[in-house]
Structure 1
C-alpha cells in the first residue's frame, strides 16, 4: 500500500510557493538575499540538487556555514524548515514516527466495553494513521502549505550506521515504509540538506544518493565579505585585522580551528568592548570567544598571540589599499 503519488523533479520546481532558481546565477542571488555569501562552486552544487531533486550532502568543519544553507533556503523560498538534529542513539521513534500507544490502549478498552468481538478488525483499526505520531522525517513527506519543505538532517556523523541505513529509502525514493501501515511516499519531494562535521566517515551508500560538497574555510576576501554582511557594525579596519588574525590562527596546530561563526562572534564581542583595533590584551581577554579548548587558548595566549598580531599588522600595512 502506497499513499500519494510521486512527482518528478520538474513537477517539484513548479509547486506552490516561491519558485526555485533556474540557473547558478539565480542561486547565488537567492543565497545573497538571505545574507549568505557563497562561492560559485557551492551555488552550482545547490542549484543542481534543487533542479534534479536530489539531497545535498554538505561536509566540512564545524562553523563553516553548512546548517545555515538550509535555514537560508527555508527563509528565501518561504518553505517550512524541518530540522532533525542528530545525536548518538537517535532512533526511528525520534526521527521518523512512533505509535501513540496510550491512545491505542484507550481505543481497545472502549471497543471491549462496547462489546466488540472482531479482534482482526480491531487490530487493523488501532494501526490507522490517526494513531501515528509523526516526527521530522515523516512530516517532510507530507504536503505543506507554500510548497515542499526544507528537511535538514544536521550532523549525521553523530548517529550510528544502522540509522544511516534507515535513511537510504528516504533519500533515494522519498518514502518511508511502516510495517503496520504500508509505504508512505511523498507527492512532492522535500528539499533535503544533510550535514556532517566528519567526526566519522559516512557510508558510501548514503553519499551515492546525494550530491556532495565540501564546505571549506573561506578565503580572507570572502570571510571579510561575510563579516561585512553578518556584522556590519564592525569598522573596516577592525574587520580586516580580525579576518587576518583568524586566517593565521587556522595555520596553527590547534585541536579545533575557529570557524566563520567564531569569527563573527569574536568581531561582535570586540565591538562590545569598544575596540577599534586589535591589541595583545584585547586578544588575550577574548580568546575564549574564538577558541573552544583550554589547550588551544593556553598555546596562543600571551607571546604567541602578540607575535601573530605583529605579523597581521605588518601584512596589512604592506597590502595595497
Structure 2
C-alpha cells in the first residue's frame, strides 16, 4: 500500500474509533479499499464480533444513510427491491370508477411513483454514494436470492417493467455480513472484497468495552472480558460475542457491582449466554470463570 493509502487507513481507523468502533488494521484496510474502489465488502465471522456494527458506525461517521436489508430464509426479490401498493391502487380505482374517470391514462398512473413502495435495494440505488447498504446475514437467504444479488452488485441498476431502468449515479458502500450458517457461492465472493472478523484479543476486548461503555471501571471490564474468554473455551452451543461482553459489563455496572464474583456471575449470566444448556455448563465452572487467573 502506498503512503497515501496508509495515511487513509490510519485516518479511517481514527474516525471509526471516534464513532465508538475499534477496527484492527486488517479490517480498516478492507473498509478503506472498499470505499476507495467502490467495491462491496463481505464480512464473515462468529455472531457478535462487530460485523453489523461497523456498517452502522460507517454510516454515522461518513454522514450517510444506513439502508439495511435483513436476510432470512424465503426472502424474495419483491421484499428486497420494490412492491406496488395494491391496497392504494384498488382504492384509487374505486374512486375513479365512482367518478367515471377510468381511462388508459388513469390506469397508467396506477403504476407511477406515488404507488411504488421502495424496498432497501431500490432505496440504495436511488441514494447512491449517500448511503451505506447493509445486506445482513446473507447466509440465511436462499441460493436463488444470492444469485439475484450478483447483477445488482455488479451494475447497481434495477429494471421496473412499468417504470424503466433505474441506474445508480454512483455506487453506495455495500457491506454484506455472514455467520457462515452455510457456504456462500464463489460467484458472490468474487464480486466482493473479503475480511474475516475474529474474536479480539483480551487486551483489545477490554479496550472495546471501555470505549463503548466508558462508565464501566477498567478493573471490572478486565474481569468480565477474562471471564468471557474462559467461556469461549468451554464447549458452548452459542459462545458469547463482543456484544454480549459489553452487555455483561454494562449490566454489572448498572447493578452497582465493582467486581465479578461467582455469585454476581450466577445471577447475571443471562446477559452473556442465551442458551439453557450453556448456562448450566457455565454454572458448573463459575469458580474457574471468576478466579481472575
CA drift at 1:68: 0.8
CA contact (8 A) 1:242 1:263 kept: yes
Long gaps (5+) in structure 2: 1-5
Task: Go from structure 1 to structure 2 and tell me whether the alpha carbon gap of 1:300 and 1:122 turns closer, same or farther (over 3 Å shift).
Answer: same
CA drift at 1:292: 0.8
Distance in 1, matches of 2:211 and 2:127, equals: 34
Matching of residue 203 in structure 1 with residue 185 in structure 2: yes
Long gaps (5+) in structure 1: 1-20, 315-321
Task: Go from structure 1 to structure 2 and tell me whether the alpha carbon gap of 1:244 and 1:143 turns closer, same or farther (over 3 Å shift).
Answer: closer
Of 96, 105, 111, 1:127 maps to 111
Of 291, 301, 304, 2:273 maps to 291
CA contact (8 A) 1:175 1:183 kept: yes
Task: Go from structure 1 to structure 2 and tell me whether the alpha carbon gap of 1:168 and 1:286 turns closer, same or farther (over 3 Å shift).
Answer: same
Matching of residue 91 in structure 1 with residue 76 in structure 2: yes
Report the count of equivalent residues. Answer: 286
Corresponding residue of 1:151: 133
For normalisation by structure 2, the TM-score amounts to 0.90
Matching of residue 279 in structure 1 with residue 261 in structure 2: yes
Matches within 5 A, 1:104-253: 104-105=89-90, 110=96, 113-114=100-101, 116=103, 124-143=108-127, 148-253=130-235
Distance in 1, matches of 2:73 and 2:157, equals: 24
Of 278, 288, 292, 1:307 maps to 288
Which deviates further from its counterpart, 214-223 or 175-184?
175-184
CA contact (8 A) 2:40 2:192 kept: yes
Distance in 2, matches of 1:61 and 1:37, equals: 17
CA contact (8 A) 2:156 2:167 kept: yes
Corresponding residue of 2:65: 80
Measured against aligned partners, the alpha-carbon deviations of 1:64-84 in whole angstroms (never above 9, x if no partner) come to 111111111111111111111
CA contact (8 A) 2:67 2:124 kept: yes
CA drift at 1:104: 3.8
Corresponding residue of 2:247: 265
CA contact (8 A) 1:157 1:199 kept: yes
Distance in 1, matches of 2:206 and 2:169, equals: 42
CA contact (8 A) 1:234 1:271 kept: yes
Measured against aligned partners, the alpha-carbon deviations of 1:127-146 in whole angstroms (never above 9, x if no partner) come to 334432111110111147xx
For normalisation by structure 1, the TM-score amounts to 0.83
What SS is found at the alignment partner of 2:134?
strand
Distance in 2, matches of 1:169 and 1:181, equals: 19
CA contact (8 A) 1:45 1:211 kept: yes
CA drift at 1:106: 5.3
What SS is found at the alignment partner of 2:177?
strand
Of 17, 31, 39, 1:32 maps to 17
CA contact (8 A) 1:169 1:176 kept: no
Distance in 1, matches of 2:133 and 2:156, equals: 11
